[in-house]
Amino acid sequence: MISDMQGVLGLASGALVGFSLGLVGGGGSILAVPLMVYVVGVPDAHVAIGTSAIAVAANAAVNLSNHARGGTVVWSCALPFAAAGIAGAFAGSVLGKMMDGQRLLALFALLMLVIAVLMLKTRSRIGLPDVQITMANTPAIVGLGLATGTLAGFFGIGGGFLIVPALMLATGMPIMNAVSSSLVAVTAFGLTTAASYAWSGLIAWGLAGLFVAGGIAGGLVGTRSARLLSARRGALNIVFAAVIIAVALYMLARNLSLSWA
């Protein structure tokens, strides 16, 4: 049963998640999981992961439609990337449910820091305009799609913060196109992971609905902000990395405090 305070916090947290997805195509789950655990007060890490997966998938789908209207989604690369990752997301989610919840969150935070550093190293990269899938980049698109899908499923996340740099690496596309295209895979991976957790009864459906409602409003603001920031070279990468680092350090600090308690 959700209290009134949890309902308010769920709506506010959902708005923040939606804003992040609209702004950088990722960060939704990196924010959603700790918000579920530390702000809304979901005591079970696995329930927090399962609930965030369905909420992030729904919010990503809404944000995808916003980006698609702007013509920045590279469908020829996004669809095969997502298709390759679905099998990985299912396998990863099965493995993730077997691991201790607190240890899973700690590993999640460490992975976030690695990705943030990689994003900062490539912040000045402009990217190739009008990129499309070719025989040359297909193996990289499919291989990285499978790898990021597995990690997304294992950590119970949409995986946008993995997918954005993976798409840039596989195709050389600019970050704005990678942000937009990543939402195809975020939606697919999130739904796959959520289905696995729902099968195990690890989703709080009422809370997921509140997250989605808040995320719709936040996503509209985030998408508009992304278009403004994309005109400034490297600015979107820096914002993306800063969000990841801040949340990762907080999660590690909380895990350390719990282990010493």
Q: Which range among 91-100, 212-221, 252-261 shows the weakest confidence by mean pLDDT?
A: 252-261
Reading the block at residue 127, the tokens are 């990217």
Q: Does residue 191 carry a pLDDT above 90?
A: no
Question: Which region holds residue 3: left if phi is over 0, alpha if psi is between -120 and 50, else beta?
Answer: beta
Q: Report the percentage of the chain scoring pLDDT > 70.
A: 87
Rounded to two decimals, the pTM is: 0.74
Q: Does residue 23 carry a pLDDT above 80?
A: no
Q: Residue 36 corresponds to which amino acid? A: M
What pLDDT was estimated at residue 51? 87
Q: Dump pLDDT digits (tens) for 215-248.
A: 888 888 887 777 777 666 567 667 777 877 887 7
Q: Does residue 112 carry a pLDDT above 80?
A: no
What's the mean pLDDT in 104-119?
77
Q: Does residue 173 carry a pLDDT above 70?
A: yes
Q: Dump pLDDT digits (tens) for 119-166.
A: 677 655 556 667 777 888 899 999 999 998 888 788 766 677 778 888
Averaged pLDDT score across all residues of the chain:
81
What's the mean pLDDT in 157-179?
81
What pLDDT was estimated at residue 234? 64
What pLDDT was estimated at residue 126? 56
Closest CA to 181 of 29, 19, 30, 63: 63
What's the mean pLDDT in 36-40?
84
Q: Report the percentage of the chain scoring pLDDT > 90.
A: 9
Domain boundaries, the chain: 4-260
Q: Does residue 30 carry a pLDDT above 90?
A: no
Q: Does residue 45 carry a pLDDT above 60?
A: yes
